[in-house]
Amino acid sequence: MSFTLAIVGRPNVGKSTLFNRLVGKKLALVDDQPGVTRDLREGAARLADLRFTVIDTAGLEDATDDSLPGRMRRLTERAVEMADACLFMVDARAGILPDDEVFADILRKKSAHVILAANKAEGRAAEGGLLEAYSLGLGDPVRMSAEHGEGMTELLDFLRPIAEEGAKAEAAVEDAAPLTNIDVSEDDPDEVRMPTAARPLQVAVVGRPNSGKSTLINQLLGEDRLLTGPEAGITRDAISLPLDWDGMPTRIFDTAGMRKKARVQEKLEKLSVADGLRAVKYAEVVIVLLDAAIPFEQQDLRIADLAEREGRAVVVAVNKWDVEEHKQEKLRELREAFERLLPQLRGAPLVTVSAKTGRGMDRLREAVERAYVTWNARVTTSKLNRWLAGMVEAHPPPAPGGRRIKLRYMTQAKTRPPGFVVMASNPEKLSDSYKRYLVNGLRIDFDMPGTPIRLWFRSQADQNPYKDKKKSTPSRLRKHLGKPSLKE
């Protein structure tokens, strides 16, 4: 990326709409309600032949205290300092408000490159606001409509000189630093694909509101990158951030807190939860974060079960462990409740952490890597069939109607999560209890604790090409039945 562009402005001027248009995807939540965006969201933007990083920010508000708007403003000001250029958006239909003038003065001092954009400028109703924008002293405003894609060519003309300046700076750095430590080794197909910078490990942090998800990610990043506070439900977007986690390239997703479905009434919260569910589907490892004071609530169980049904590797982390007084007794209760309430994740890592103090982060990292390796586990066909023979001998399948179901052959069809196919006679008559017996045996004997295991049964009759064909009548019966033979 040649440069970084931060989109700033008052709430509800269309920053997230423009962000989505530049990245070509509906990544940021958009709603008519002001103040939807609260965290910084980065994306890879494309405008004609330009490639750059764009940052969507929270709406600037005239608050400097420790309130939620004040914390949002400080986070936006930090984005301005990080970016190479700022796109200051105003609402052409609403005109220039006093807050716009205050923020224009701030941007003039903090950023070397400030581009003024008058959004919602389609139609005659925006003419007055467009003329007022000149009074801000930031040069000619770009007349645009982020919703309809108008003004993108004019914006490109403003961005091109900034991109050229960034390209020259990058070229100077590349000339000064020779390429070293280039890995030219080929991947071994029999080995687990470990995360790389090109393909980092995808980790989603999920849980109920106010369980400490954003605080945990800030602790891992080593900076206050995400908005946090005592209020429940601060996070709305599913924000993804790159992280070098003790040498393991990772992309970690912060998600909105998920309440019970019956309590989710507002449209905005429904969008936030849907965004979090989408992050779970794209993740490889899901960290289910619990509150040590009230662990394994009904909603926690639903969230963990969702991750298992999606086939993701699961790590259960219990946060706020620093304020727990009776740690050993509490830990025994947690393990007992985990085994009893989440049998489908039996053996999954259970880690106690403190997002506030950083305690347990090393154990969490080890648990995530262990869960990922198990999720990618592969077992050879010869080992599987020897194991299947032993399981059948120890506990034969049921015999419905007096005919014993035969398990003939087994192979692994996939990984991520591990999936196995068993060839059997009459698989539709196999009981669920016997299937659980085989799944639990796979977990124990092949060291796959906690990871979702998929087991499919196929009938060998499905391989028979003559299965659905009618039997022909024997020639000796044709005369008896009065049917002519082929020779006749």
Token pair in block for residue 469: 């064909």
Token pair in block for residue 261: 């479905």
Residue 64 has pLDDT above 90, yes or no: no
**Statement to judge: residues 158 and 130 lie in one domain:** yes
What is d(CA 279, CA 299) in angstroms, rounded to the nearest whole number? 18
Token pair in block for residue 417: 């999560």
Position with higher pLDDT, 468 vs 288: 288
Average pLDDT, the chain: 81
Residue 49 has pLDDT above 70, yes or no: yes
What residues are paired with 249 via a beta bridge? 244
Binding-site residues for GTP, please? 9-16, 56-60, 119-122, 207-214, 254-258, 319-322
**Statement to judge: residues 288 and 426 lie in one domain:** no
Contact 406, 422 (CB under 8 A): no
pLDDT in the model for residue 74: 75
Binding-site residues, please? 9-16, 56-60, 119-122, 207-214, 254-258, 319-322
DSSP-based three-state secondary structure for 37: coil
What is d(CA 137, CA 101) in angstroms, rounded to the nearest whole number? 9
Residue 210 lies in a domain: yes
User: How many distinct structural domains can be found in the chain?
Assistant: 3
Contact 237, 29 (CB under 8 A): yes
Residue 115 has pLDDT above 80, yes or no: yes
Residue 145 has pLDDT above 50, yes or no: yes
The residue-averaged pLDDT of 192-220 equals: 89
Digit-coded pLDDT (tens) for 275-325: 678 888 889 999 999 999 898 888 888 888 889 999 999 999 999 999 988
Residue-number span of the structural domain to which 283 is assigned: 201-227+236-261+276-375
Residue 229 has pLDDT above 80, yes or no: no
What is d(CA 219, CA 240) in angstroms, rounded to the nearest whole number? 15
**Statement to judge: residues 213 and 355 lie in one domain:** yes
**Statement to judge: residues 70 and 131 lie in one domain:** yes
What CATH number is associated with residue 435? 3.30.300.20
Neighbouring residues of 416: CB distance < 8 A, sequence distance ≥ 6: 284, 311, 375, 376
pLDDT band at 180 (very low <50, low <70, confident <90, very high): very low
pLDDT in the model for residue 40: 76
**Statement to judge: residues 141 and 280 lie in one domain:** no
pLDDT in the model for residue 355: 93
Residue 192 lies in a domain: no
Residue 397 lies in a domain: yes
Amino acid at position 484, single letter: P
pLDDT in the model for residue 352: 95
Residue 412 has pLDDT above 90, yes or no: yes
Distances (CA, A) of 7 to 22, 70, 237: 11, 18, 16
**Statement to judge: residues 121 and 249 lie in one domain:** no
pLDDT in the model for residue 59: 76
pLDDT in the model for residue 176: 38
Position with higher pLDDT, 319 vs 189: 319
Distances (CA, A) of 360 to 318, 353, 374: 10, 5, 21
Residue 473 lies in a domain: no
Residue 157 has pLDDT above 50, yes or no: yes
Position with higher pLDDT, 482 vs 458: 458
pLDDT band at 81 (very low <50, low <70, confident <90, very high): confident
**Statement to judge: residues 153 and 46 lie in one domain:** yes
Contact 364, 287 (CB under 8 A): yes
The residue-averaged pLDDT of 21-29 equals: 81
Q: Give how far the C-alpha of residue 245 lies from the chain's centroid of Cα atoms, to the nearest Å.
A: 17
**Statement to judge: residues 245 and 343 lie in one domain:** yes
Helix or strand holding residue 330 (H, E): helix 327-341
Amino acid at position 195, single letter: P
DSSP-based three-state secondary structure for 107: helix
pLDDT in the model for residue 234: 65
End position of a domain, from candidates 156, 173, 190? 173
Residue 469 lies in a domain: no
Residue 474 lies in a domain: no
**Statement to judge: residues 393 and 370 lie in one domain:** no
Share of the chain above pLDDT 70, in %: 78
Q: Which of 266, 255, 276, 151 is nearest to 213 (CA)?
A: 255
Token pair in block for residue 249: 């390239």
**Statement to judge: residues 211 and 345 lie in one domain:** yes
The phi and psi torsions of 142 (rounded to 5 degrees) equal -85, 120
**Statement to judge: residues 250 and 356 lie in one domain:** yes
pLDDT in the model for residue 188: 43
**Statement to judge: residues 342 and 400 lie in one domain:** no
pLDDT in the model for residue 167: 66
Q: Count Cβ neighbours within 10 Å for each residue of 166-194 and write b for 16 or more, e otherwise.
A: beeeeeeeeeeeeeeeeeeeeeeeeeeee
What CATH number is associated with residue 19? 3.40.50.300
pLDDT in the model for residue 181: 33
pLDDT in the model for residue 231: 63
Residue 147 lies in a domain: yes
Amino acid at position 147, single letter: E
Distances (CA, A) of 273 to 57, 155, 235, 286: 20, 33, 10, 15
- For residue 47, the number of C-alpha atoms closer than 13 Å in the C-beta half-sphere is 27
Residue 478 lies in a domain: no
